[in-house]
Chains A and B, each alone.
Chain A
Amino acid sequence: MNKKIPIRVRLILLTIPLVLGLGLLTAALAGLSGSASAAPASQTPMSNDTCLTCHSQPNTSKQLGGETLLLTVEKEMFDLSVHGNQGVACVQCHTDIASFPHPDYSVGSKREMQLALYGATRQACIDCHQEQSANALNGVHQQALEAGNTNAAICADCHDPHYQAPLEEQPRSASLETCARCHSTIYETYTQSIHGAALIDENNPDVPTCVDCHGAHGIQNPRAAEFRNTTPQLCATCHTDAAIMDKYGLSTAVLSTYVADFHGTTVTLFEAIHPDQPTDKPVCTDCHGVHGIRSVDDPQYGIGMKENLQAVCERCHPGASADFPNAWMGHYIPSPDRYPVVYFVDLFYKILIPLVLGGMAGFVISDFTRRLIERRKGGMH
């Protein structure tokens, strides 16, 4: 058609899409900005200063069922902490807190609050600390928690999330104090032991802390058979290492002598086939003690003393005589001075066996050879 559309109509026609487009754009922008305020972490996280407006006030606290939960976070200490150092924002862990008022966890006690926060922030721990979280979720504390024990340790119970100093700056005994918060009697026992005393008195780098034996995150149930059956290998980690043992004049033959004797033979074979079943044969800790291990020469507790050892033996062998503990060679390798009867029996067989078998072999070979020769010759003997 040759009809020309008048300019007025053209202008009107143009403005409709323009208006529509602008409207859509505005709506879109509004929507975006709306979501941005709801999830600041996806773009720029809400500044810590916003949170600190209230949370830096000293003595900010919350009443929970008669207990007081401190809500103050000291900025200077946080900045020095591992998280503060890395510039972690409050909302990166507290992902569910975007504005005030905060989500109501509806809890009645301080512990419930901590557990509620654990539930809300756990993913944040997992996201950055994958290995440790994975181990911890398999550990005995998590199992206890899932079984309903609310006293079981969660991440924040051991690692203060706001003030945790870098691990490298902490002495080895720091982990002791952490565990002691809940396991105080075991801690007391441990401090009396030869390991604990050395750690606390001298900060001895060779002795094990709680973490060295039990692990930090993937803690096995220490009462379970699986842990007990692997105890000899655990102790052997250090006690067969000459680099450590030589410093203290301790034998590195402790595992081999244990395995060579009845108890260790049984546990070794048992553990290889049924690692998770209990066995009634003793492992290291049954004789030496668990947390309160003393030197074998300790006058009161050391099992180098025959009376002390007899008391240990009698736990499983009621009626054992005072001489009975001598049946255990005390991790010693027999020599003419120590356990000479055993030594000379060994020596006797070391001579007899090659002699007899050598003689037999010699005769057999000569006989066999002769018969071969005779057979080749085809003659009769």
Chain B
Amino acid sequence: MAPNKKASVEKTQTTKPAKPKSVKNKPEKIKATTSKRQPVKPQAAQQTTARDYVRFPLARRIEHLIMLVSFTTLGLTGLPQKFPTSDISIFIARLFGSVEILRAVHHAAATVMMFGAGYHILLAGYQLFVERSRLSMLPGFQDAKDALQALMYNLGIKKSRPQMGRYTFEEKVEYWAFVWGAVIMGLTGFMLWNPITTSRILPAEFIPAAKAAHGAEAVLAVLAIVLWHFYGVHLKSFNKSMWTGKLSEQDMLHEHPLELADIKAGLAQRPLDPALKRKRERIYFPIAGVLAAAMLFGIYGFVRGEETSIKTIPPLVGDESVYVPQTPTPLPTSTPIAASSNDPANLTWDGAIAPVIQEKCSMCHGQAAIGGLDMSTYENLLKGGGNGPAFIAGDSANSKLVQLMEKDIHPGKVTPEELARIVDWIDQGAQEK
């Protein structure tokens, strides 16, 4: 027998020797006693040494861990993006620092998952082409029958659970749902990550459609994992095979009795001629290499291909000045009544002087006659006020009016030209008319 056999029991009734048959997509027929799906009696199993069976080699377990971590990360970082207004979302986003970091982590986890998917494809290709293993994960009519039987057994209609092989219908549902989901999420994820590129290939309406599909599929995937997967491997019975890689004889009997029988019958692992294996590898590895390169290139394009937007938005209200006052400013000012045009040469009270005095002084020294000084008329000005006469005709230097105006302490002021005029008027005798 070939050295890589697993079962310790050798049945005398051997089957056909291994032959390089092209597998195509059909599972090989199993020509053992178990093909009629007879229930395996527990006593038969007890004759063998109870041992563990390898279910998942290390590579598979690492693959599962990678998918587990990336899936959980994607779900966690995706949730706030689908439900941004809920408190849980804000809490998660805050945990990651900001929504931008959250999104970057989501993208990173998606990339990891893409690598995982790529590795899975290459590995499946190896098993398909090189090892020509049974396509034990493919669903078939038998799985539907198993599912129905299981349901009917649960409902108490049938008397026994179905006996299933390496992958039960539950596991096949799990696997193919994951494949379906990964394809959808990858495609729609691409459309969301690279909307400009997408809008060149498809009508742009497909982008919000992709968002709808992406979010809905995510909800479905997460809830399906929680409902179906967690129940199947955690709650129903705690299945450690994805961590330890092994299942006990007991577990094999309960979960995968047909596979157990095959193993014991020596049918499970067909020995592969090393020369043949190498020949196939020589064909497959280059193909796989090309495929891997293509996938890496694809992932790179996915992630880095498009610069969707510029990073800083130019401000809308830019350098445009905010302070642009209306002119003339409507703030309460009004130009005083223009000084009546008078001949400055007419240096008399009635001519050039009275208008100036009235304009500049009458607010206080008119009716108000502050300090007893009324400057509204020539006579009153001559009379003066509490400080005596306001001016001395002919002597401007000693006129109180001039002295006060020159000092610039008085609230009422005249312009230098006006003061000069007054000085001239006084020096020329301060004539009234």
Contact = CB atoms under 8 A, between A and B. Distances in A.
B206 A323 contact: no
A118 interface: no
Contacts of B94: 272-273
Contact of B228 (A162, A265, A280, A364): A364
A342 B206 CA distance: 7
Given A181-B326, A269-B99, A345-B212, A360 B364 contact: no
B224 A57 contact: no
A345 B196 contact: no
Contacts of A157: 331
A36 interface: no
Given A319-B196, A381-B161, A282 B207 contact: no
Contacts of A349: 212-213, 216-217, 220
Given A285-B316, A316-B309, A68 B204 contact: no
A227 B161 CA distance: 65
A186 to B, nearest CB: 7
Interface in A47-79: 53-54, 57, 59-61, 63, 67-70
Contact of B323 (A57, A183, A286, A368): A183
Interface string B356-391: 000100111010101000000000000000000000
B355 to A, nearest CB: 12
A186 B212 contact: no
Nearest to B227: A360
Given A59-B337, A70-B334, A327 B309 contact: no
Contact of B153 (A101, A269, A353, A370): A370
Contacts of B314: 315
Interface string B184-221: 00000000100110011001111111011100110110
A363 interface: yes
B236 A280 contact: no
B99 A270 contact: yes
A324 B332 contact: no
A272 B330 contact: no
Interface residues of B, number: 84
Nearest to A102: B411
B343 interface: no
A35 interface: no
A180 B323 CA distance: 10
Interface in A178-227: 180-186, 222-223
B224 A329 contact: no
Interface string B71-100: 000000000110011000110011000111
Interface string B282-314: 000000000000000000000000001111111
A73 B333 CA distance: 11
Interface residues of A, number: 84
B313 A280 contact: yes
Given A54-B364, A269-B84, A353-B216, A339 B154 contact: no
B181 to A, nearest CB: 11
B324 A185 contact: yes
B316 A367 contact: no
A189 to B, nearest CB: 9
Nearest to A185: B324
Nearest to A282: B313
B64 to A, nearest CB: 21
A259 B86 CA distance: 12
Of A289, A342, A369, chain B has the most CB atoms within 10 Å of the CB of A342
A223 B315 contact: yes
Nearest to A162: B332
A60 B336 CA distance: 8
A290 interface: yes
B204 A325 contact: yes
A182 B363 contact: no
B270 to A, nearest CB: 32
B413 A63 contact: yes
B203 to A, nearest CB: 6
B223 interface: yes
A249 to B, nearest CB: 24
A183 B323 CA distance: 5
Contact of A181 (B204, B329, B363): B329
B322 interface: yes
Of A185, A273, A274, A290, chain B has the most CB atoms within 10 Å of the CB of A273
B160 interface: yes
Contacts of B223: 353, 357
B155 interface: yes
B236 A151 contact: no
A356 interface: yes
Given A315-B313, A349-B212, A368-B236, A360 B204 contact: no
Nearest to B99: A269
Of A149, A262, A319, chain B has the most CB atoms within 10 Å of the CB of A262
Interface in A327-343: 327-329, 334, 339, 341-342
B347 interface: no
Of B81, B370, B411, chain A has the most CB atoms within 10 Å of the CB of B411
B231 interface: yes
A70 B330 CA distance: 12
A286 B316 CA distance: 7
A67 B156 CA distance: 103
Contacts of A323: 199, 203-204
B404 interface: no
B154 A318 contact: no
A26 interface: no
B1 interface: no
Nearest to A370: B154
A60 B363 contact: yes
Contacts of B211: 261-262
A32 interface: no
Contacts of B417: none
B333 A381 contact: no
Given A70-B333, A316-B310, A339-B208, A364 B317 contact: no
Interface string B127-164: 00000000000000000000100110111100011000
Contact of A324 (B204, B254, B366): B204
B196 A341 contact: no
The 8 closest A-B pairs by CB, nearest first: A349-B216, A366-B154, A326-B204, A269-B99, A57-B363, A327-B207, A327-B204, A370-B154
Interface of B: 80-81, 84-85, 89-90, 93-94, 98-100, 102-103, 147, 150-151, 153-156, 160-161, 192, 195-196, 199-200, 203-209, 211-213, 216-217, 219-220, 223-224, 227-228, 231, 235-236, 254, 308-317, 320-326, 329-337, 359, 362-364, 366, 368, 370, 411, 413
6 contacts: A157-B331, A223-B317, A273-B98, A326-B203, A327-B195, A346-B212
Given A57-B362, A265-B99, A317-B308, 13 more contacts: A57-B366, A70-B334, A185-B324, A269-B84, A270-B100, A280-B313, A316-B310, A317-B196, A346-B216, A349-B213, A357-B223, A363-B150, A367-B231
